[in-house]
Amino acid sequence: MAETDQPQLYLITPPEFDLSEFPERLDAVLDSAEIACIRLSLATRDEDRIMRAADAVREVAHRHDIALVIDTHVVLAQRLGLDGVHLTDGSRSVRHARKELGGDAIVGAFCGASRHDGMTAGESGADYVSFGPVGGASLGDGTLAERELFAWWSEMIEVPVVAEGGLTPELVSELAPVTDFFGIGEEIWSQDDAPAALKALIDAMG
């Protein structure tokens, strides 16, 4: 898939957002560009808040006919009728999530910068593997997923790969030839004009 014209866009929600405002912001972004998938990625563990947020985001996503997955919560993905789950613990829960959600659900795994973990996740049935952060020293433990990891992966492994975390136009330009998806979140939500911030990243793909 990396040989196609451009990587696809995978949108990640902010860790915290106002339900009275965010659906409108999301709608504007979805109107501005073609998005392959949305991930609900909230910092809170409050189930009620997560469920209310999921309902609001799902309404917008489905209006645009875009799949919605949720971080970590296999049970909530089932209960809320979402399209799948994004696992943040590498390959550990992939088999369990696949068994619980069935063959049609999207199961993705974030594997940091670990090639081995990514391969294990793929072998366990993940639909995609994400590596990151690709930039920004303050993210995670400071270990970055380097371009060479994506280059190797896109040449050797068929499971689609997502580059995420600390993206800049320069990094997008550098990684575009070797990734299938860009996971874009705070890079645009932290800006006043999210569609314009997204456009700057899309333009950098060349």
Residue type at 134 in one-letter notation = V
Distances (CA, A) of 43 to 15, 50, 152, 164: 5, 9, 32, 17
Other beta carbons less than 10 A from residue 18's beta carbon: 9
What is the distance between the alpha carbons of residues 140 and 54, in angstroms, rounded to a whole number?
A: 25
pLDDT in tens, the chain (206 residues): 344 579 999 999 999 999 999 999 999 999 999 999 999 999 999 999 999 999 999 999 999 999 999 999 999 999 999 999 999 999 999 999 999 999 999 999 999 999 999 999 999 999 999 999 999 866 667 799 999 999 999 999 999 999 999 999 999 999 999 999 999 999 999 999 999 999 999 999 98
Q: Of the CATH numbers 3.40.605.10, 3.40.50.10860, 3.20.20.70, 3.10.450.50, which one belongs to the domain with range 8-203?
A: 3.20.20.70
Global pTM value: 0.95
Give residue limits of the domains in the chain.
8-203
